[in-house]
Structure formats: C-alpha cells, structure tokens
Amino acid sequence: MADRLEPILPGSYLGILGGGQLGRMFTQAAQAMGYKVCVLDPGSDSPAGSIAEKFIQAEYTDSAALNEMAALCSSVSTEFENVPAQALDELESLGVFVAPRSSCVSLAQNRIAEKNFLATWKSETNIGPAPSFVIEHEADIAHTPTDLFPGILKTARMGYDGKGQATVYSSEELNAAWNEFGRVPCVLEKRMDLDFEVSALVVRGYDDAVVAYPVAQNIHRNGILHTSTVPAPSLKPAQEKKIIDAAKALIRKIDYVGVLCVEFFVLKNGDIIANEIAPRPHNSGHYTMDACVSSQFEQQVRAMARLPLGDTRQLAPVSMLNLLGDLWFEGSEDKAREPAWNKVLAHPDAKLHLYGKSAPRIGRKMGHINCLGEALNEARQNCAAVATELGIEP
C-alpha cells in the first residue's frame, strides 16, 4: 500500500462504491488519466461496472467483497450517499485511503443530523437551513409549531429526486403524510418564499487545498433537476461570493476530501438558505464536463489519488439539460424508441452524454446535454432549441 502522504499515480487501481451514472463518469475520467477502476455494486446491470476493469457484484457490506476491493485499490470513493458507513469504515481499517470518510457521508444520510449541522454552521457563514421540526413520534405532531405550515415533510433517510417528500398545510395533513411514509423519522421544513435555487460545487484535496466552481442556477420539475445554467443568471456577485465562501468553510469544517455539492435556496428578499449537502459529484455539476478546464469527475480522481486539484475556471457559458426516460416513450407508453439524437447534434454547441443504462423508464435519468454558447443568452437559447427538438418543454 502506498504511503498515505504519497500521490497514487496512474496505473494504479481506484475503487468506486456504486455502479450508476456518477460511477460511470468517474470511471471514464479515471481511465482517461491512466488509472484502472474497480466498481462494487449489488446490481448485475451496472453502467459503471460494464466499463470498469474490475466489477465486483456484491452487497456493500459483504466483507469478502470489501477485502477483494481493498487488496486491489489504493483509494476508494463513493458515487452516492446511501452507501453504508460501515463499508467505508471497513475499507479504511484495511488500509485503503477512503475519500470522503464515513463521517462526512453519514452527515448527508440523515436529514436530522444534516439540519443540526447546518444550524451550527450558520454562526460562521450567516447562512443556515430553513426553520424545521423533527417528527419521530406521534406525540411530536401535536407539538409542531404552527408557523411551519405550509411545510414540506421529508423522510430523514433515503430521499432523493423528490422522493420521500410531501407538502402539508395543517397538522391533520402532516399526520396523514407521516403515516403514509410509514411513521419513520422525518423533518418538517417551513416552505420558504423561494425566488430560485442554486448549487455550489467545491473540492478539497488531501493537502487542504480547496477550489470552487462557478455557482449553478437550477430548475427542477417534479422534484428532479431539469436544467442547470452557469453563470447563474439571477445571482448577484455578492451572493455568489457569500455562497462560495460558505461552501469552502463547510468542506473544511467536516474535514472532507473529494467533491461536495451544497444546494441553496435564494429567497425573494435576497436571503440565502442552505438546503442540503450531497457528498459526491452532483447532477448540477455535469456542466463542468464540457464548460470547465477540469470536470467534477476529474477532480474526484485527483482528490482521491492525492494529486494537485485542477483548475475550475469556466471556459464558456452553459446550460445543461437533463434527459429522463420519458423521452424514449414519446407517443407510445409501452414501446421504447431511441430519441432523434441526430437532430440534437445538428446543434453544433450541444454535447450529448448518455449513461449506458440498458432500459429507459419514466423519470429515470438516462443522460444529459451540455449546451454551450459564446454568451449566456446564446447558451440558454441553444438549450431551449435542443429541448424543443426532443419535445421537452424548455
């Protein structure tokens, strides 16, 4: 095993827990830099596993599989936050450099812990979470502060892309939603007077170097990211500086090595609210693949291999369009057909990225398109034109 202070050079194996599209794009970035990749994922149909040099199909807590990965890989990262912390701890105990560590990932696995952390972080950054209340027992519902209505009830664990969330307007609706979620621990968040949503992508190296990307402005539909536009059209320079400074402070505070995304709400009165932390590369950071000197996936490789971090400078304005499985079923609900990518690529500034998933499903992330332009308006117009080409409402 390499000394912990030494860089892990190309030719070595890097490991990734999780075989989805984020793991696939990490694998492609690592291979481009000369590394071999080992993917561990329980599913047989893995977008990352299908292109990696080594694919271990096993549960994340399978000790034999973790030992096999540790024997091969000098460093391991994760592509999604719901990997069990014990898997990361076990790999670390076997001498593997794990980035980020389990303590960082665990923070984002539980909304209650995450909200508590963001509340303490407010004293340093003047950015805190939305007012909230924890619901763990039926008795908690009666004690819910009435000023949190209307609110959004979110399950404490396993929520993503709008899943495990419900808007409630009264304690009766809160009670019904909590029962529908199986009476699991939840957080009720006050619904804020939102103007727009943004996300900050920051990276911290093993040597405590921290870099940040330009902030992305995001539009969601049905709880799933629709577009990310950079530079953020509605964000004032002072707001962007405040957000980036806060994200840099956060990544150092939790001693995090790797790529981290922090989502924020900008309110109509100009206040900034921290929404949530994602301890991994992020959907809203896919624009970096074509619009920046170094992509978020290259940075993930650099951080876990203990290499110097890359330049985050933006080379062109960009608007990223998410591609969901719905596109494959236009005009037919039961028979999938390939979208007309030739029409998309007739737009020369459109960069298509498909994730190698074997079967499209409604709401499933299948790929994205980065639409570039010489000016921000041009990038946005290109994105709208591509969306229209695909029959997506821009």
**Terminal Cα distance for the chain, rounded:** 50
* pLDDT tens by residue, the chain, 394 residues: 344 579 999 999 999 999 999 999 999 999 999 999 999 999 999 999 999 999 999 999 999 999 999 999 999 999 988 899 999 999 999 999 999 999 999 988 899 999 999 998 888 888 999 999 999 999 999 999 999 999 999 999 876 656 688 999 999 999 999 999 999 999 999 999 999 999 999 999 999 999 999 999 999 998 899 999 999 999 999 999 999 999 999 999 999 999 999 999 999 999 999 999 999 999 999 999 999 999 999 999 999 999 999 999 999 999 999 999 999 997 666 788 999 999 999 999 999 999 999 899 999 999 999 999 999 999 999 999 999 999 998 8
SS3 annotation, the chain? CCCCCCCCCECEEEEEECCCHHHHHHHHHHHHCCCEEEEEECCCCCCCCCCCCEEEECCCCCHHHHHHHHHHEEEEEECCCCCCHHHHHHHHHCCCEECCCHHHHHHHHCHHHHHHHHHHHHHHHCCEECCEEEECCHHHHHCCCHHHCCEEEEECCCCCCCCCEEEECCHHHHHHHHHHCCCCCEEEEECCCEEEEEEEEEEECCCCCEEECCCEEEEEECCEEEEEEECCCCCCHHHHHHHHHHHHHHHHHCCCCEEEEEEEEEECCCCEEEEEEECCCCHHHCCHHHHECCCHHHHHHHHHCCCCCCCCCECCCEEEEEEEHHHHHCCCCCCCCCCCHHHHCCCCCEEEEECCCCCCCCCCEEEEEEEECCCHHHHHHHHHHHHHHCCCCC
User: How many alpha carbons fall within 13 Å on the CB side of residue 85?
Assistant: 11
Kindly state the tokens that stand for 120: 């303490």
Q: Give the angle subtended at the CA of 368 by the CAs of 393 and 26, to the nearest 5°.
A: 160
Kindly state the tokens that stand for 119: 């509340």
Residue 368: closest CA among 382, 353, 383, 355: 353
Query: How far apart are the C-alpha atoms of 127 and 268, rounded to whole Å?
Result: 15
CA dihedral 156, 247, 313, 195 (to 10 degrees): 70
Domains for the chain: give ranges and CATH numbers. 13-98 (3.40.50.20), 131-190 (3.30.1490.20), 194-389 (3.30.470.20)
pTM for the model stands at: 0.94
The strand pair at 318-324 and 258-267 is best described as: unpaired
Q: Give the angle subtended at the CA of 116 by the CAs of 113 and 122, to the nearest 5°.
A: 140
